[in-house]
Amino acid sequence: MFFLIVHSSFIAYLLIYALIPYKILKRGKVKPNILLSFYFILTILAYIFNFIYFSIENHLLYQAFSTLSWFLRYFSLIFLTFFVLYIYLEGNLKKELIIGVMGLYAIILGILFLLPSQILYFPGTNKTPIWSFYFIITMVLVITIFFTLPGWIYSFIIYKRFQNEETKRRWKRFIIGLLGVTSIYYLEIYEVSPVGKPIILEIVFAIYIFSAVIIWGYFLYQGLGRKI
């Protein structure tokens, strides 16, 4: 029964989350739509791989799917950064800049996730990998520089720039979604830290992260995702 509930919830989650990029791209495959959609698409793929590696006993496969899941999760954030920059620059965002920064970010994440002895994997009863303190500090710095600071700063600048009240109201929803999404990724880092956590806290975090992905994603969509 528990197995059925978990699988049903996961399928429902994927269907809901897959609907958002579909509705965004249906309006047209223009640059802002593509940037925002790819955040949702990569997040979906990350959680699919996450679901797979929780079902795997083979250590090498478990490690490969786990690494891919975490990489996609954090790489997806760069698309939110560039979506915000696109709005801030009023469409004057060069393709070369996007490719260059995304390539640099992907290389940094790739090197980090392939560093030996920085991530401990535990296939079996405990499926959550444990990150070293060095790895955690580095990851926090990387996502803060590439996502949190530019995303937050430019989002608030854009909000002040808008004159139309309806647009400001919708962008405020986007900002709330952005802040919520940020909380998920920092909480996930805390979840895989070697710091001991009470079981009740782990349960609360797991419930929040699972539900918040949909809630804050919906806020992003209701912001400017529904109508750019």
Interval 152-178: pLDDT, tens: 999 999 999 988 888 888 898 899 889
Q: Most confidently modeled of 30-34, 63-67, 151-155, 180-184?
A: 151-155
Instruction: Return the structure tokens found at 209.
Output: 């992260």
CA 63 to chain centroid, in Å, comes to 20
Torsions phi, psi of 119, nearest 5? Answer: -130, 125
Domain ranges of the chain: 2-225
**Topology of domain 2-225, CATH:** Rhopdopsin 7-helix transmembrane proteins (1.20.1070)
Give the integer Cα–Cα distance in Å for 111 and 183. 24
**5 or 197, greater pLDDT:** 197
Per-residue DSSP letter, 53: H
pLDDT at 61 over 70: yes
Of 108, 50, 51, 52, the closest CA to residue 78 belongs to 108
Mean per-residue pLDDT, 100-114: 93
Interval 33-50: pLDDT, tens: 899 899 989 988 988 888
